[in-house]
Structure 1
């Protein structure tokens, strides 16, 4: 069954409610860690790249596809330590290598997808237009863990639909979308571990 790239207003509203409900279920510690998540990632990007935050954020984003955060950090750190990326698939490695060679991450990464938005969130933790819609953000919105099923996030329309859901939910809560996404991500990941 194809993944919808547009939904009814009622479905969109349900997606927004799902995101808000996960936000509201965060305890104090989860909310604090989520609100600081991209600031911490920004500091990490600066540290692993000897002060070149854009390069650090670009390499982290390039190597992030289908990786747990801890693995993503190890791969990016090792890339800068060794002078070349490893441990991922070819396209991600090529993009990371180009960034490490000095190319602008915005010219290397697909800026209208998860990877580009993830880069922007790490580069500028206050960027209210950068919304990282990964598999977890998708599952939070639709209210279901998809496992290995296709979420349709390679579709620009599907990505835009979910980014709009997070913008609407963030406006309701009065936070920037990337903080909302990070807090809900922390809650969602920790729920999965405890299940």
Structure 2
């Protein structure tokens, strides 16, 4: 687990790790990463028949510990049946509230992963939002943690890593969400087939 009181040297190393992973990306990986949230936005619009904001909220609420394909399946199913299912009750309650018309920004924890995921899907060009999931963490710290606790339940740890991605993005002249999604693609491609659990959002 990373500490929230890391030195400036360690923080700088995290930023360099993110930049190094970005620079290791192939052109195809960069293209996949650049399109990730745009494609997700289109999907959010499709599953709600036009309401990208609600669709993004439902996708974000259902994202914890689910593969992206399962995440999408559950979101489609919720809108087709009118009844969210297949997840923990807390997530299902959030989905039901969003489907009933509540603004996702009033339902989701906006300074954590699900809130940031919602923001990135709603607006793929959001200049500040960045999703810190287990893969984003591992890219920054330069180590694959596997099943170990990453401490991402802490708002301060999340904010620390988000800061590192924003600084890396500033240096690269890119959006934070683009740097995160491209490095996510690079990292998950690297660990595919290594025994580490597959990519999840």
Q: Deviations over 1:34-90 (max 9, x none)?
A: 011111100000000111111100000000001111111111111111112111111
**1:186 matched residue in structure 2:** 185
What is the correspondence of 1:10-159 to structure 2 with a 5 Å cutoff? 10-159=9-158
> How many aligned positions are there?
194
| CA–CA distance in structure 2, aligned partners of residues 188 and 68 of structure 1 | 15
RMSD over aligned Cα atoms: 1.0
Match of 1:144, SS state, is coil
Listed as ranges, the gaps of 5+ residues in structure 1 are none
User: How far does residue 92 in structure 1 lie from its aligned partner after superposition?
Assistant: 0.5
| CA–CA distance in structure 2, aligned partners of residues 60 and 183 of structure 1 | 20
| CA–CA distance in structure 2, aligned partners of residues 149 and 97 of structure 1 | 32
User: How far does residue 3 in structure 1 lie from its aligned partner after superposition?
Assistant: 3.8
Q: What is the TM-score normalised by the length of structure 1?
A: 0.96
User: How far does residue 6 in structure 1 lie from its aligned partner after superposition?
Assistant: 2.5
Match of 2:4, SS state, is coil
| CA–CA distance in structure 1, aligned partners of residues 74 and 5 of structure 2 | 36
Q: What is the TM-score normalised by the length of structure 2?
A: 0.94
Q: Deviations over 1:117-150 (max 9, x none)?
A: 0000000001011111111101110011111211
Match of 2:192, SS state, is helix
User: How far does residue 194 in structure 1 lie from its aligned partner after superposition?
Assistant: 4.6
| CA–CA distance in structure 2, aligned partners of residues 194 and 32 of structure 1 | 22
Match of 1:45, SS state, is helix
Query: Where do 4+ consecutive residues of structure 1 move more than 4 Å?
Result: none
